[in-house]
Amino acid sequence: MPPPLLRQPMLCGHARPFLLPPAGRQVQVQQVERSRNPKELPREDHTSRPINKVRGHREREMGAVPEAVAAVAVLVGLAAAAAAAGRGRGWSEEDSGVPGEVTYDHRALVLDGARRMLFAGEMHYPRSTPEMWPKLIAKAKEGGLDVIQTYVFWNVHEPVHGQYNFEGRYDLVRFIKEVQAQGLYVNLRIGPFIEAEWRYGGFPFWLHDVPDITFRSDNEPFKQHMQRFVTDIVNMMKHEQLYYPQGGPIIISQIENEYQMVEPAFGSSGQRYVSWSAAMAVNLQTGVPWTMCKQNDAPDPVINTCNGLICGETFVGPNSANKPALWTENWTSRYLIYGNDTKLRSPEDIAFAVAYFLARKNGSYVSYYMYHGGTNFGRSASSYVTTNYYDGAPLDEYGLIWQPTWGHLRELHTTVKQSSEPLLFGTYSNFSLGQEQEAHVFETESRCVAFLVNFNPHQTSEVVFRNISLQLAPKSISILSDCKIVVYETAKVNAQHGTRTTEQVQSLNDINTWKAFKESIPQDVTKAMHTGNQLFEHLTTTKDETDYLWYIVGYEYTPSDDNQLVLLNVESRAHILHAFVNNEYVGRVHGSHDGPANIILSANISLKEGPNSISLLSAMVGSPDSGAHMERRVFGIRKVSIQQGWEPEQILNNELWGYEVGLFGERNRIYTQEGSDNVEWTAINNLTYSSLTWYRTAFPTPAGNDAVVLNLTGMGKGEVWINGESIGRYWVSFKAPSGNPSQSLYHIPRQFLNPQDNVLVLFEEMGGDPQQITVNTVSITGVCGNVNELSAPSLQSQDKEPAVDISCQEGKQISAIEFASYGNPIGDCASYGIGSCHAESSEWAVKQDCVGKTRCSVPVTPAKFGGDPCPGIQKSLLLVASCR
Catalytic residues: 258, 329
* Mode of pairing for the β-strands spanning 118-123 and 365-372: parallel
Which is nearest to 375 in space by CA: 385, 388, 384, 391? 388
Q: Are 676 and 723 in contact (CB under 8 A)?
A: no
C-alpha pair distances (Å), 404 with each of 422, 498, 857, 881: 28, 7, 16, 15
Residues with Cβ within 8 Å of 541's Cβ and at least 6 positions away in sequence, in order, are 530, 549, 636, 659, 661
Q: How far from each other are the two terminal CA atoms of the chain, in whole angstroms?
A: 63
Report the alpha-carbon distance of residue 644 to residue 519 in Å, rounded: 31
Burial (0-12, 13-18, 19+ Cβ within 10 Å), 713: middle
For every residue of 661-717, which 3-state class applies, written as one string?
A: ECCHHHHCCCCCHHHHCCCCCEECCCCCCCCCEEEEEEEECCCCCCEEEEECCCCCE
HSE-up of 249 (CA within 13 Å, CB side)?
26
Strand partners, 814: 883
Report the alpha-carbon distance of residue 128 to residue 396 in Å, rounded: 11
Q: Are 184 and 148 in contact (CB under 8 A)?
A: yes
Kindly provide the b/e burial profile for residues 828-861, where b requires at least 16 CB atoms within 10 angstroms of the residue's own CB: ebeebebbebbbebbbebbbebbeeeeebbbbbb
Strand partners, 716: none
Could you give phi then psi for residue 453, rounded to 5 degrees? -110, 135
Report the alpha-carbon distance of residue 234 to residue 223 in Å, rounded: 16
CA angle 539, 541, 542 (to 5 degrees): 65
* Mode of pairing for the β-strands spanning 693-700 and 682-683: unpaired
Helix, strand, coil in percent for the chain, rounding step 5: 20, 35, 45
Q: Are 722 and 672 in contact (CB under 8 A)?
A: no
Report the alpha-carbon distance of residue 362 to residue 326 in Å, rounded: 9
Neighbour tally for 335: CB within 10 Å: 22
Report the alpha-carbon distance of residue 714 to residue 377 in Å, rounded: 21
* Mode of pairing for the β-strands spanning 599-605 and 147-151: unpaired
Report the alpha-carbon distance of residue 285 to residue 31 in Å, rounded: 12
Return the sign of the alpha-carbon dihedral for residues 817, 822, 825, 828.
positive
Q: Are 441 and 454 in contact (CB under 8 A)?
A: no
Return the sign of the alpha-carbon dihedral for residues 230, 231, 233, 234.
positive
The backbone region for 634, taken as left when phi is positive above 0, alpha when psi lies in -120 to 50, beta otherwise, is beta
HSE-up of 572 (CA within 13 Å, CB side)?
30
* Mode of pairing for the β-strands spanning 250-255 and 290-293: parallel
496: enclosing H helix or E strand: none
Report the alpha-carbon distance of residue 118 to residue 416 in Å, rounded: 10
Report the alpha-carbon distance of residue 814 to residue 354 in Å, rounded: 33
Q: Residue 613 is which amino acid?
A: S
